[in-house]
Amino acid sequence: MKWEVVIGLETHAQLSTVSKIFSGASTAFGAEPNTQACGVDIALPGVLPVLNTGAVERAIRFGLAVGAKINSPSIFARKNYFYPDLPKGYQISQYELPIVEGGTITIQVGDTEKTVRLTRAHLEEDAGKSLHEDFHGRTGIDLNRAGTPLLEIVSEPDMRSAEEAVAYARALHTLVRWIDVCDGNMQEGSFRCDANVSVRPAGSEKLGTRREIKNLNSFRFLQQAIEYEVRWQIGELEDGRAIQQATVLFDPDTGETRMMRTKEDAHDYRYFPDPDLLPLEVTAERIAVVRSVMPELPQAMKSRFVDEYKLPDYDAALLTASKETASYFEETTRITFDAAKVLLGIAGKEPVLSGVAKLAANWLIGEIASRLNSGGIELADSPIKPGQLAKLLARILDQTLSSKMAREVFDAMWAGEGDADAIIAAKGLKQISDSGEIEKIVDQVLAANTQQVADFRAGKEKAFNSLVGQVMKASRGKANPQQVNDILRRRLAG
Amino acid sequence: MSNATLKELSDRLAAGACSSVELAQDYINKINGLGKSLGCFITVDAERSLAQAKAADARRAAGNAGPLTGVPLAHKDIFCAEGWLTTCASRMLSNFVSPYDAHVVELCNAAGMVTLGKTNMDEFAMGSSNETSFFGPVRNPWNPDTVPGGSSGGSAAAVAARLAPAATGTDTGGSIRQPAALTGICGLKPTYGLVSRYGMIAFASSLDQAGPMARTAEDLGLLLNVMAGHDPRDSTSLERPAEDYNRSLAQPLKGLRIGLPREFFADGLSPDVRCAVDEAVAEYRKLGATVVDISLPNMELSVPVYYVLAPAEASSNLSRFDGVRYGHRAAEYTDLMDMYKRSRAEGFGAEVKRRILIGTYVLSHGYYDAYYIRAQKLRRLIARDFVEAFRQCDVIMGPTSPTTAFRLGEKSADPVQMYLSDIYTIAVNLAGLPGMSIPCGFDGGGLPVGLQIIGNYFDEARMLNAAHQYQLATDWHTKAPAVGQG
Amino acid sequence: MITYTASIFNGFFTLAMAIQLDDVRRAAHLARIAVDDAEAGAALAQLTRVFGLIEQMRAVDVSGIEPMAHAQDLMLRLRADEVTETNRRERFQAVAPEVESGLYLVPKVIE
């Protein structure tokens, strides 16, 4: 039988406020246990929650970014259950009326674009952490994380493969960082996904029974966990066993999912409106203010890159993977274009924006990305800033540097040896583009290689390449390869 | 000296007729004597009290005294007070020394008032007789075989027995007014949101409101002036300009329209209570008030509505008592689940557990709409009845409680009988209105009767005016039980 | 399980959802309160009385009425995103049943 996979994601994005959602304790990561858990966070008797406006502002920003409806009022509810890292015995969340409803995320898998619908996004508080090691068989509870604001973003079951799920998670991850609502740090748990996975016979309308994979904190684990889960569910169904609804954990060591042992007992969260918190109003004025400071969003920017710079979709997608990459690209392109205008203007020529942009894109996606990757460096910490890269690219455009020479200069720049022009001067790397000079070298090479000249004239095209090589060698690599080609052809034809 | 009112003590301190330390010591002596036999207090800490009194005397000497600086009061043990054992009358918190002050306690401290101790109460404020306390019942100073009412029974009995000139209380369904009535003192539950709930251990958050308990209406106003005020740490605390709740005390009552809801005078009201309330109303007529017959048609449903909403909120509010971060943890257990279940089974008393079970049940899957949502809809109907009624009158009057103090143990076997003793007070909490009780006579057995005065939202000053004028014309509020005399 | 029985309370008939022993046990489990059979039985008897009272709510038509969750008809006030709290761990943990290295300890939690 052919099976169809159905996946929906619930993503918890920690909102980047400095204080907690209902208390004035710090949200900074990595403090000593329980030193950032105030009376409200540890749920002392008598304490009360007061909502952080920063969390609300971020939720609105997210809602606007995904084209969702901002509910006013929205309601905070209590989700009741006992767990040692949940100090009040209930989590303050939103249930019947979330602050954000609807919206979409556009994803790209291969060449196809797809729209994933969002069900809702609601504000809630994070729980603390349970530490299971080193306490002679007991569990230690650290409540520093308790009360950290979360936006839980729930998708519709619109994804049909692990690839689509990962593409969705990545797009969401890009977006929340782009609009500065979440730092996206997955190691620290700032962005984590639960995946609801089910399978059904292809063509069936009815959804299969789903199992929820909890707490996936890397895209790789997300992919692996879903792939395993899908194989497992299909195996079960093909062996004639029904799937039971369950919550499972992914074990990265074995690559398998397994049922959780603790939360198995039937849940009845007894949601009800939190009597400590009145309805949350979001006025039209407030929405307008948030909208007015909203940056250009990745999807819009990607389209603009294709239109304005005539970049291929693929390049535009890569360049808009993060706000830093996009602004690095645009800054480099702008400075390069301005510099090339001056440099080419001497020769009465003008740079073409799309050509400059493509050059900048190639260098950013190519050299810069691979250096950052291998060095484990963030773009923000790159030793070469847009202004510096632009100077190098301008020297390619004005034909001072061949691309091979440009790479040599780039290496030196990366090593901190100075800016492009200084390195070109120091290394004597200036390309020979003077045709008189090149002609001289060509004539010398032709005179010294009569046999190859004869071979070429006898129809052996290979001999031409060898002659080009000889000329380049004789110029110590500095001759403009295009000009060498042209002059050599002209001479041999003559 | 301990027979003096808050106002009189304030005047004496201002005149230098006594010191705060002398006052505090005097009350503490009585608390350690009579207070013990009545069971009014859970915690007394003379050293702390006297240190506060000393600081108050120093403040007065420095010329910085406010009207209540150096005046002692008792706090219901539901209020967190830094360094004080704060138990909520529960075994669960029998070892809990609060690391912080409730807003009410902060304000009283800032005014220079001296904390005499923490008063006994029904466990987690759940009860109408003060019999559910882990620390034992409180006895009514008028007759030690009867209850003082609840849940602020310790505060009420302490004030009635002259062990404190005033006390704080909290009122979720009548817990200030009913014990005030049963012990012959005055108690005021303000408009919801006037007094911060921060640091007041929550029972039913949407109903809980703290207020003053004292012997005169004027004293209630003096203490309310200290207790009320905006607190940014409570999201339901109202932002309103400060007011002097005693500003209208002297106003004559001519033209005051008193609404008498016929539902308050129907079956179930004891004849003695009815008689005393009728006489009080007659007195008000003499003072120039007019009487209007009104109806609160849904009031009867306030008890069932309350026993859905309050337990539902309580079941969630009390989930934090899990033996992990503070409070009682069972000595023996097999695993985490067992630790939770035993700690909570041991830490909570029968009535608290009963209400947690009711609340859990009404919120659980499949019952939520039938119970919780329905109760919230009825709550709105009950609140609307009052809006209608206040179109025809300025204040509403009636009995505070259907009976006078009942015998210890009389109603503890049947929760429903106990719950029905709050029939006249609960609707006020559901609506969020201010309500008060003042003494208006005695039954045949010499037990006090309370007159309930219900005001419109934020109409505390008018209620206090009405109560004060009545107290100028009558002397019920000056009557002391035999044990409190001398 | 829900069964519908006619019960008499305060002189008029109401249609009651009778609470069962299993409901009591289930609520006690959800609320994490240990109850033995005797306690569950006693609780059932009293809760049956209480729900008899609660069932009076059915006498009134509430269609079209908006539920009232708060005593005030106001919107939520928000606080500024500022850190106002300092570390008070020692003070807070002074009253904790079991702590080690700044952590609250509980019996092993198995996920």
Query: Sorting pLDDT into bands at 50, 70 and 90, what band is A494?
Result: low
How far apart CA A246 and CA C3 sit, in angstroms, is 30
CB A270 within 8 A of CB B364: yes
Note down the domain range covering C53.
4-59
On whether residue C48 sits in a domain, the answer given is: yes
Are C56 and B353 a contacting pair at CB < 8 A? no
Block residue for tokens 């808050």: B6
Contact (Cβ atoms closer than 8 angstroms) between residue B333 and residue C34? no
Helix runs in A210-322, H state only: 219-238, 284-292, 298-309, 313-319
Residues of chain B under the 50 pLDDT cut? none
C-alpha A480: how far from chain center: 39
SS3 at position B349:
coil
Do A199 and A233 form a contact (C-beta atoms < 8 A)? Answer: yes
The shortest C-alpha distance from A150 to chain C (Å) reads 14
Please report the beta strands in A159-190, taking only residues with DSSP state E, as ranges in sequence order.
none
Contact B197 A48 (CB under 8 A): yes
* Residue, of B351 and A470, whose pLDDT is higher: B351
C interface test, pick of B300, B351, B357, B381 with most C CB neighbours within 10 Å:
B357
Three-state DSSP class for B300? Answer: helix
Q: Using CB atoms, which residue from C32, C75, C110 is nearest to A73?
A: C75
Higher-confidence residue of B175 and A108: namely B175
Q: Which two tokens stand for residue A194?
A: 């639960």
Which one of B101, B322, B367 would you mutate to disrupt binding with A, by most A Cβ within 10 Å of its Cβ? B322
pLDDT for C4 equals 36
Cβ neighbourhood burial of A295 (10 Å; 0-12, 13-18, 19+): middle
| Domain(s) of CATH 1.10.10.410: residues in chain A | 435-493
- Please indicate whether, in this complex, the C-beta atoms of A39 and C102 are within 8 angstroms of each other: no
Mutation choice for B interface testing from A34, A47, A142 by most B CBs within 10 A: A47
CB contact under 8 A, A39 and B313: no
Q: Which two tokens stand for residue B281?
A: 């109303």
**Chains linked to A by 3 or more Cβ pairs within 8 Å:** B, C
Q: How many CB pairs under 8 A join A and C?
A: 124
With a CB cutoff of 8 Å and minimum separation 6, the contacts of B103 are: B195, B196, B197, B198, B199, B229, B231, B233, B234, B237
Sign of CA dihedral A37, A40, A42, A46: positive
> What tens digit of pLDDT does each residue of A411-469 get?
999 999 999 988 988 887 777 778 888 888 888 888 888 888 888 888 888 888 888 88
Q: What is the C-alpha separation between A239 and B460, in angstroms, rounded? A: 74
Contact C82 A73 (CB under 8 A): no
Show the low-confidence residues of chain C (pLDDT under 70).
1-17, 111
Pick from A18, A82, A142: CB nearest C103:
A142
A52 and C88 in contact by Cβ < 8 A?
no
Check CB contact under 8 Å for B313 and A275.
yes
Distance from CA of B24 to the nearest CA of C (A): 29
Q: Which of A45, A50, A51 sits opposite B201 (nearest CB)?
A: A45
What's the length of chain A? 494
- For chain B, counts of helices (H) and of strands (E): 17, 11
Percent of chain A clearing pLDDT 90 (strictly above): 74
Report yes or no: B330 and B449 within 8 Å, Cβ to Cβ: no
> Would you kindly state where each structural domain of chain B is located, as residue ranges?
300-378
User: At which residue do the structure tokens 């009741």 appear?
Assistant: A80
Q: How many Å apart are CA A313 and CA C64, to the nearest integer? A: 54
The minimum CA-CA distance between C38 and chain B, rounded to whole Å, is: 13
Please state, as a whole number, how many other Cβ atoms lie within 10 Å of the Cβ of residue A324: 14
For CA atoms A294, A295, A301, A305, give the dihedral sign. positive
Could you tell me which of B165, B159, B158, B173 has the C-alpha nearest to residue B124? Answer: B173
Chains that touch C (3 or more CB pairs under 8 A): A, B
Place of tokens 């440009």: A406
User: What CATH number was assigned to the domain covering residues A435-493?
Assistant: 1.10.10.410
Query: What is the chain B residue with the closest CA to A142?
Result: B325
Residues of C with CB below 8 A from B373's CB? 67
CA–CA gap between residue B288 and residue C96 (Å, rounded):
59
Specify the higher pLDDT residue, A344 or C65: C65
- Neighbouring chains of B at 3+ CB pairs under 8 Å are A, C
Give the pLDDT confidence of A112-168 residue by residue, as tens digits. 889 999 999 999 999 999 998 777 889 999 999 999 999 999 999 999 999 999 999
Q: Residue ranges of the alpha helices (H) in B293-335? A: 302-317
Could you tell me how many residues make up chain B? 486
Instruction: Indicate which of A38, A264, A272 best probes the interface with C, i.e. most C CBs within 10 Å of its own CB.
Output: A38
B159 neighbors B185 (Cβ within 8 angstroms): yes
Closest CA to B233 of B75, B107, B361: B107
Please report, as a single letter, which amino acid is at residue A74. Answer: S
**Is the CB of residue A276 less than 8 Å from the CB of residue A90?**
no
Residue-level pLDDT at C2: 36
Percent composition of chain C: helix, strand, coil (DSSP 3-state, to 5): 35, 20, 50
3-state secondary structure at position A458: coil
Is B199 in Cβ contact with A47 (below 8 Å)? Answer: yes
Name beta bridge partners: A14: A150
Task: Assign 3-state DSSP to chain A and report helix, strand, coil percentages, each to 5.
Answer: 40, 20, 40
| pLDDT, position A261 | 63
Higher per-residue pLDDT: A482 or C1: A482
Bridge partners (DSSP) listed for residue B213: B167, B187
Q: In this complex, which of C46, C66, C106 lies closest to B339 when CB atoms are compared? A: C106
Decide if pLDDT at A260 tops 70: yes
Contact criterion met (CB < 8 Å) for B337 and C67: no
The single-letter DSSP state of residue C52 is H
CATH number for position C41 = 1.10.20
Judge: C94–B345 Cβ closer than 8 Å, yes or no: no
List own/partner pairs for A424-430 with CB under 8 A and 24 or more apart. A424/A395, A424/A400, A429/A401, A429/A405, A429/A478, A430/A400, A430/A478
B198 contact residues in A (CB cutoff 8 A): 46-48
Structure token digits, residue A87: 């100090």
Name the residues of B annotated as catalytic.
76, 151, 175
Give me A34's structure tokens.
């329980």
Give the one of B204, B320, B364 whose C-beta lies nearest to A270's C-beta: B364
Q: C54 to chain B: which residues are within 8 Å by CB? A: 304, 307-308, 362, 371
Q: How many CA atoms are closer than 13 Å to the CA of B1, on its beta-carbon side? A: 20
Mean pLDDT of A171-178: 96
Q: Residue A433 contacts by C-beta under 8 Å, 6 or more apart in sequence?
A: A399, A400, A480, A483
In 3-state terms, what secondary structure has residue B79?
strand
Question: In degrees rounded to 5, what are phi and psi of residue B447?
Answer: -95, 145
B142 contacts B370 by C-beta, under 8 angstroms: no
Inspect the interface and report whether the beta carbons of B378 and C35 lie closer than 8 Å: no
**Each residue of A43-56: pLDDT tens digit?**
999 999 999 999 99
SS3 category, B416: helix
Q: Closest chain A residue to C110 measured between Cα atoms?
A: A262
User: CA-to-CA distance for B426 and B422, rounded, in angstroms?
Assistant: 6
- B299: three-class secondary structure by DSSP: helix
Question: CB-based burial of residue B196 (10 Å sphere; 0-12 exposed, 13-18 middle, 19+ buried)?
Answer: buried
- Token pair listed for A140: 């230690």
> Torsions phi, psi of B467, nearest 5?
-70, -40
- For B4, the 3-state DSSP assignment is coil
Q: Which residues of B touch A87 (CB under 8 A)?
A: 320, 324-325
A–B CB contacts, 8 A cutoff, strictly below? 97
C-alpha angle B46-B51-B56 in degrees, rounded to nearest 5? 125
Q: What whole-number distance in Å separates Cα of residue B72 and Cα of residue B113?
A: 6
Whether B461 contacts B247, CB under 8 Å: yes
The helix/strand/coil state of A264 is coil
Calpha distance B85→B87 (Å, rounded): 6
Contact C107 B360 (CB under 8 A): no
- Chain C contacts in chain A segment 37-76 (CB below 8 A): 37-39, 42, 44, 50-56, 73
Query: Would you call the peptide bond into A73 cis, given omega within 30 degrees of 0 as the criterion?
Result: yes
Residue range A475-480: average pLDDT? 80
Cβ contact B233–A272 (<8 Å): no
Q: CA A350, CA A348: separation in Å to the nearest integer? A: 7
Question: Out of C34, C56, C70, whose CB is closest to B301?
Answer: C56
Pairing of the two strands B257-261 and B395-399: parallel
Query: What value does the mean pLDDT of chain A take?
Result: 93
Task: Say if the Cβ atoms of B192 and C71 lie within 8 Å.
Answer: yes
Please check whether residue A281 is in contact with residue A158, taking contact to mean a CB–CB distance below 8 angstroms: no
CA-closest candidate to residue B355, choices C54, C14, C59? C54
Chain A residues near residue C109 by CB distance under 8 angstroms: 83-84, 130, 132, 139, 262
In this complex, the residue of C69, C77, C105 whose CB is nearest that of residue A275 is C69
Using the Cβ of A283 and the Cβ atoms of chain C, whether some distance falls under 8 Å is answered with no
Query: Of A39, A141, A268, which is closest to C104 when you measure between CB atoms?
Result: A141
Q: How far is A272 from chain B (nearest CA, A)?
A: 7
Name, in order, each residue with C-beta under 8 angstroms of A138's C-beta and a sequence gap of 6 or more. Answer: C98, C105, C106, C107, C108
Predicted local distance difference test score (pLDDT) of residue A264 = 46
- B7 to chain A, closest Cα gap in Å: 30
